[in-house]
């Protein structure tokens, strides 16, 4: 009795060490406002996982982009694989939860046997061949006294959270990549149109210089320079055409369709949409915590904490109840009759008292993985802060540059028209025309590239914000 009491006391003492660590948020402080935002009066909502990819995009007014995003959500193969991983994790959680209930199996069989005379020193003829028919149930039930099963179920639940956040992160990342490819497609189409228009203007200039040369009012030098500028502009067109094709094919893969099919659907050029001003945020902490990569890191940490609790539970005894019941007979026809019923039931206590060193090693491994998950969680929060701030400044500066280049493109177009009129009127030399046309081409090309940069910065900011965006005036949009 004293030994039993001592063992029970040791078990109670160890029970205090068998629980999982409590919840610990990231130790990385999140500022009250983002440095790259000027206004902090707008709140932001974390979108639900199933609608994150649709946040804000329809409000841009580009129905083609919205349709492609919907196709991505439904047909992208990577998204489908991620959804299957979530389904598998949920099934694993259900399986672990069933450990709270007894495990019952049915078995039935036939055996023909003879006992050995070496086991019982009697004549061998006293042990004839026998037919054994058996059918019944076997049951096994672990009573979760110290929480081993509970911690395993918690770990499986956290794993479901990890896979869900990973799937949400994948959808947001793929949506941002689709938007970026679509914007690059429209931007390349615009640059192609700019080069084509300028080539046509330069062709007319070349024809004018040739006519003046033939009429004796021009020089071969002007004609050759006009020809050189036209050929240079024409040489840039194949590069833009290749970029258009590449972007079309990339969009096709993302929406889960053959690239050539989508390329035909996107052949007609369309302008880039207008984008909203840079928003402000009243709760940067909710933005960071709402990102799927941060949420997944937090769930991974919860998983490792639960596994620490499960490992510590092995310090303590494990109480199980086993039993079996059924019928055993030498004749099949008598199976289930009088005298064939059997049963056995009883508890079993197992305790790895002499293997506590191995238990401690497993606990140390789990604790190390928990510490690693804590460090990864904090690092993910830091990277999220960097990503958001970098995306905010990129979007803000891209929009500012776009405004300046729009003014420059308008001014260069007016200057080119004036230069042609002055040259035609004979009050300016041809060098001014060439310089004005070259400036016009550069300004319009930079403007088209700047529109693309602002659009892709918008897609990057959407991803950095975890698929969410505040509406003007503080209204939360999803």
Tokens linked to 90: 């949920």
With contact defined as beta carbons under 8 Å apart, do 410 and 443 qualify?
no
Beta-bridge partner residues of 109: 134
Residues of the chain with pLDDT under 70: 1-27, 29, 31-33, 35-56, 117-127, 278-282, 469-478
200 Cβ contact partners less than 8 Å away, ≥ 6 residues apart: none
CATH of 24-117+125-477, one of 3.30.450.20, 3.30.930.10, 3.30.230.10, 1.20.1600.10: 1.20.1600.10
Tokens linked to 176: 């941002």
pTM confidence score: 0.79
**CA 418 from chain center: how many Å?**
53
- Per-residue model confidence (pLDDT) at position 436: 83
DSSP string, 374-414: HHHHHHHHHHHHHHHHHHHHHHHHHHHHHHHHHHHHHHHHH
Report d(CA 395, CA 459) in Å as an integer. Answer: 9
- Dihedral angle computed from the Cα positions of residues 378, 379, 384 and 386, in that order, rounded to the nearest 10 degrees: 120
- Per-residue model confidence (pLDDT) at position 4: 47
Report d(CA 87, CA 14) in Å as an integer. Answer: 37
- What is the number of helices (H) and of strands (E) in the chain? 10, 6
- Per-residue model confidence (pLDDT) at position 32: 63
Residue ranges of the domains in the chain? Answer: 24-117+125-477
304 Cβ contact partners less than 8 Å away, ≥ 6 residues apart: 366, 369, 370, 372, 373
Give 119's DSSP letter: T
Q: Find the angle CA(267)-CA(271)-CA(277) to the nearest 5 degrees.
A: 140
Burial 429-449 (b: 16+ CB within 10 A, else e): ebebbbebbbbbbebbbbbbb
128 Cβ contact partners less than 8 Å away, ≥ 6 residues apart: 114
Tokens linked to 58: 């329809």
Neighbours of 108 (CB within 10 A): 12
Neighbours of 185 (CB within 10 A): 25
Tokens linked to 360: 């401690």
Q: Going edge to edge, which strands form the sheet with 103-113?
A: 103-113, 130-143, 318-329, 341-350
Tokens linked to 376: 């990864």
Report d(CA 8, CA 343) in Å as an integer. Answer: 30
Neighbours of 90 (CB within 10 A): 16
With contact defined as beta carbons under 8 Å apart, do 320 and 143 qualify?
yes
Report d(CA 289, CA 296) in Å as an integer. Answer: 10
Tokens linked to 2: 């004293």
Pairing of strands 318-329, 130-143: antiparallel
- Per-residue model confidence (pLDDT) at position 223: 85
Tokens linked to 15: 């029970």
């Amino acid at each position: 009795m004293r030994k039993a009491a001592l063992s029970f006391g040791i078990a109670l003492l160890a029970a205090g060490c068998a629980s999982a660590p409590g919840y610990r948020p990231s130790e990385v402080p999140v500022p009250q406002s983002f440095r790259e935002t000027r206004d902090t009066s707008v709140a932001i909502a974390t979108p639900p996982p199933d609608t994150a990819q649709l946040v804000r995009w329809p409000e841009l007014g580009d129905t083609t982009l919205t349709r492609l995003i919907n196709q991505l959500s439904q047909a992208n193969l990577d998204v489908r694989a991620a959804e299957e991983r979530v389904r598998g994790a949920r099934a694993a959680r259900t399986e672990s939860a069933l450990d709270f209930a007894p495990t019952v199996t049915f078995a039935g069989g036939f055996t023909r046997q003879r006992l050995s005379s070496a086991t019982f020193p009697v004549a061998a003829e006293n042990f004839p061949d026998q037919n054994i028919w058996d059918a019944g149930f076997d049951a096994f039930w672990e009573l979760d006294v110290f929480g081993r099963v509970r911690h395993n179920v918690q770990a499986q639940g956290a794993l479901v959270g990890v896979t869900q956040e990973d799937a949400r992160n994948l959808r947001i990342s793929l949506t941002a990549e689709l938007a970026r490819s679509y914007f690059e497609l429209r931007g390349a189409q615009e640059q192609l149109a700019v080069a084509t228009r300028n080539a046509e203007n330069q062709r007319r200039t070349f024809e004018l210089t040739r006519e003046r040369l033939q009429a004796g009012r021009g020089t071969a030098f002007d004609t050759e320079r006009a020809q050189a500028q036209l050929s240079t502009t024409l040489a840039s067109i194949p590069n833009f055409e290749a970029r258009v094709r590449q972007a079309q094919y990339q969009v096709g893969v993302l929406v889960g369709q053959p690239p050539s099919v989508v390329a035909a659907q996107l052949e007609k050029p369309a302008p880039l949409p207008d984008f909203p001003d840079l928003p402000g945020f009243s709760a940067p902490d909710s933005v960071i915590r709402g990102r799927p990569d941060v949420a997944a890191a937090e769930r991974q940490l919860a998983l490792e904490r639960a596994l620490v609790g499960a490992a510590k539970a092995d310090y303590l005894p494990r109480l199980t109840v086993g039993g079996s019941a059924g019928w055993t007979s030498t004749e099949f026809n008598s199976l289930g009759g009088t005298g064939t019923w059997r049963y056995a039931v009883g508890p079993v206590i197992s305790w790895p008292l002499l293997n506590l060193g191995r238990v401690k090693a497993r606990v140390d491994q789990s604790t190390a993985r928990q510490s690693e998950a804590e460090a990864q969680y904090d690092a993910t929060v830091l990277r999220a802060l960097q990503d958001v701030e970098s995306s905010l400044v990129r979007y803000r500066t891209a929009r500012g540059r776009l405004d300046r280049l729009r003014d420059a493109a308008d001014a260069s177009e007016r200057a080119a028209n004036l230069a042609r009129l002055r040259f035609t009127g004979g009050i300016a030399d041809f060098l001014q025309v060439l310089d004005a046309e070259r400036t016009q081409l550069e300004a319009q090309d930079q403007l088209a590239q700047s529109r693309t940069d602002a659009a892709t910065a918008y897609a990057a900011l959407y991803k950095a914000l975890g698929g969410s965006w505040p509406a003007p005036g503080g209204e939360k949009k999803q």
